[in-house]
Amino acid sequence: MGMTKEQTELEQLIRTHHATESEVQSILDLTKGYSETMSLMDFLEKNPKATPAEIIQKAISCKMTEQFMLCLEAYPPDFARAKELLGKGADIHFVNCVNEPILAEIIMGYPTQKAMNPCMDCDEHDDCDVSSCEKSRQAYGSEYLADVVRFVLENGYDVSGEDGKFGADALRGLCWSSCDKHILEAAKLLLDAGADPLVPDEDGGDVLASIDWVSSGCIPVDEDLESECLYSAYYDIVEGKIKGLNYNQIQWWDAAVGKQINRIISCAPSVEKAVYTFSTGEHQYQNCFEDDIVLDCEGVMLAVTKYCHAYVNPNKVPQKPIEISDRMENLIGKRIVEVKFSLSCVVKGRRQQHGSMVQILLDDGSRLVVRDNGDQFGEEYCARFEIEAPSSDCNQEDST
């Protein structure tokens, strides 16, 4: 088989370093993959005085590093082999030809590697988009993501490398990773290790700007309320680190599953603004709110926002919370079973009305349903809640 264009260019570069024919062949034998080839070419362009011996050593390192990354992107990861490759020359601080640190590249490549596995349980099978298919997520999930990050950190990865770029880029990489609750645990590991979210990228934005851009500008997130909620939790974790808050308390909603609701509080500045009636001129909507409502589930604080987001964040609770348990007394004593997110679009005449909804399912079959007012009123954005009895149809439009 002939050489690729990149390998031909690499051979020409090697010869400019006065390598013998045997040295040239040895280097080419070590760099048969695209990633290895491009990485070595980048090294040669940056080090025009490198000796053949140094080039061979770098080629070995590139090959070991590529195998190291594949071990960590595999499902499940082969940590024993990855450890062995570090001893053989894999570079834990490797930066690829597009200036991405190794951990950022591993994190961003995580769903891509899993997508190589066929989705055997999916009806679509060959046409299945593994990155978004729920059955595929379950079969080839990202439950190892945090373990991979922990492994790289424990084996010497320095988040302060290149003036903090190594840590900040890994945090940014989570924006493009598995898009599930495991990115939250991975983020905490990076922040605990000292990753600085304020280190700017090439456009001057910090990590919060990256999260905000992904959550507001990417079509897949815009069409998926649960992913939007996930990035909101991730944003709060990073912001908590910046503000000196206990960001490790922030968790996905499933941390509240099985917990009993003991009280309900509002984060509003006054009792009048905690829960109110909203009027559109034609209709009146009761049980409206703008400031977060927090369900105290045996000390696990499940926050529900006007954007129909729901996740655990004790940092949202103000110093002087307003208790509204009497307004939602039917929830007291019930246990959380599940949280469901959904988006809707209703066409009325020439106008489309968009809305979000989150449902908190309880152990007696009842549910707390929160809907936002979307863009249908042309008024100040808010949400409203209702408590539906076990026999209620959760998808039925209310007529109040």
DSSP labels, 158-209: -TTTTTTHHHHHHHHHGGGS--STHHHHHHHHHHHTT--TT---TTS--HHH
Alpha helices in 176-334 (DSSP H): 182-192, 207-217, 219-222, 225-243, 271-274
Helices (H) and strands (E) in the chain, counts: 14, 11
Number of domains composing the chain: 2
Q: Hey, which of 275-284, 294-303, 370-379 has the most confident mean pLDDT?
A: 294-303
Strand-by-strand arrangement of the 336-348 sheet: 276-279, 284-289, 383-388, 367-372, 351-362, 336-348
180 and 196 share a domain? yes
189 or 99, which is more confident? 189
Percentage of the chain beyond pLDDT 70 is: 83
| Residue 128 lies inside a defined structural domain of this protein | yes
CB atoms within 10 A of CB 69: 22
268 and 317 share a domain? yes
Cβ burial 11-45 (10 Å sphere, 16+ → b, else e): bebbeebebeeebbebbbebbeeebbbbbbbbbbe
* Domain stop point among 234, 249, 264: 249
Q: Which of 75-84, 212-221, 250-259 has the lowest mean pLDDT?
A: 212-221
100 and 244 share a domain? yes
Q: Coil, strand, or helix at residue 337?
A: strand
Q: Which residues contact 158 (CB under 8 A, 6 or more apart)?
A: 93, 166
Give residue 136's pLDDT: 44
Q: How many residues does the structure list for the chain? A: 400
153 and 269 share a domain? no
Mean pLDDT over residues 216-227, rounded? 67
> pLDDT category, 243, cuts 50, 70, 90?
very high
Mean pLDDT over residues 124-136, rounded? 47
Res. 27: pLDDT tops 50: yes
Strand-by-strand arrangement of the 293-297 sheet: 310-312, 300-304, 293-297, 261-266, 322-323
Give residue 376's pLDDT: 56
376 and 307 share a domain? yes
Give residue 143's pLDDT: 86
245 and 285 share a domain? no
133 and 218 share a domain? yes
Domain, as residue range, for 62: 5-249
215 and 312 share a domain? no
User: 118: cis peptide before it, omega within 30°?
Assistant: no
> Mean pLDDT score of the chain, rounded to an integer?
86
Q: Determine the Cα–Cα distance for residues 222 and 210; give it in Å rounded to an integer.
A: 15
Q: Which of 172-181, 230-239, 279-288, 362-371 has the lowest mean pLDDT?
A: 279-288
Res. 180: pLDDT tops 60: yes
* Domain stop point among 198, 226, 249: 249
| Residue 32 lies inside a defined structural domain of this protein | yes
Q: What share of the chain is helix, strand, coil (3-state, %, to 5)?
A: 45, 20, 40
Question: Phi and psi dihedrals of 295, rounded to 5?
Answer: -90, 115
| Residue 133 lies inside a defined structural domain of this protein | yes
Q: Determine the Cα–Cα distance for residues 260 and 312; give it in Å rounded to an integer.
A: 14
Mean pLDDT over residues 285-294, rounded? 94
271 and 230 share a domain? no
| Residue 331 lies inside a defined structural domain of this protein | yes
58 or 374, which is more confident? 58
| Residue 195 lies inside a defined structural domain of this protein | yes
Res. 331: pLDDT tops 50: yes
Give residue 138's pLDDT: 41
Give residue 346's pLDDT: 61
| Residue 277 lies inside a defined structural domain of this protein | yes
Percentage of the chain beyond pLDDT 90 is: 67
Q: Which of 120-134, 147-161, 246-260, 300-314 has the lowest mean pLDDT?
A: 120-134
238 and 261 share a domain? no
| Residue 69 lies inside a defined structural domain of this protein | yes
| Residue 397 lies inside a defined structural domain of this protein | no
Q: Coil, strand, or helix at residue 242?
A: helix
Q: Which of 31-40, 193-202, 268-277, 355-364 has the lowest mean pLDDT?
A: 31-40
> What six digits make up the tokens of 44?
């040669």
Cβ-contact 371, 397 below 8 angstroms: no
Res. 117: pLDDT tops 60: no
60 and 207 share a domain? yes
Find tokens 């990590």 and name the residue: 207
Mean pLDDT over residues 365-375, rounded? 89
Cβ-contact 64, 90 below 8 angstroms: yes
Q: Hey, which of 52-66, 106-120, 324-338 has the most confident mean pLDDT?
A: 324-338
Cβ-contact 363, 337 below 8 angstroms: yes
* Domain stop point among 226, 249, 272: 249
- Within 13 A of 375's CA, how many CA atoms are on the CB side? 10
Mean pLDDT over residues 188-210, rounded? 97
282 and 235 share a domain? no
